[in-house]
Amino acid sequence: MTWGQTARFGSCERGSSAVELAVVAPAFFGLVFGIIFVGMILWTQASLHFAAQSAARCAAINTGVCNSSTTIQNYALSRYYGLSVGGTNPFTYSATGCGNTVTASYAYTLTIPFAGTRSVPLSARACFPSPPS
């Protein structure tokens, strides 16, 4: 290769945008999919909290519908709008010192390409006092 050919090769900008895309694209797509995954986790967490709060309120106020532990757990599951919990009911009910308590615990499975599968534990708790008699 002569000096003239080397100078022309160094000043050639053909293909530079392809190289820039190859450098920037993994970070960009990682950021976009990371935002989507975090949004889905937050949506599932908010749905767990909403369902637990609705069921605790039903247990405290609407004793005609929510009259046993099983019906309260099923009511909470019907108010849950997040991702599928896989056939198990993550909600539990107990009558504690603060009143009617509904708790939920769910292990969100996060699949990250090239990094494997991770489990993110999510939980929610709501307590409504029983109305005075």
Residue 6 inside a domain? The answer is no
As for how many domains the chain has, the answer is 1
Residue 14 inside a domain? The answer is no
- In sequence order, what DSSP letters do the residues of 56-67 get, joined into one string? HHHHHH-TTTS-
Residue 5 inside a domain? The answer is no
pLDDT in tens, the chain (133 residues): 565 555 565 566 777 888 899 999 999 998 998 899 999 999 999 999 999 999 999 999 988 888 899 999 999 999 998 878 777 889 999 988 788 999 999 998 888 877 889 899 999 999 998 777 6
Query: Which residues span the domain enclosing 110?
Result: 19-128
Helix (H) or strand (E) holding 39: helix 16-61
pTM greater than 0.95: no
- Output phi, psi for 128, to 5 deg: -120, 130
Residue 99 inside a domain? The answer is yes
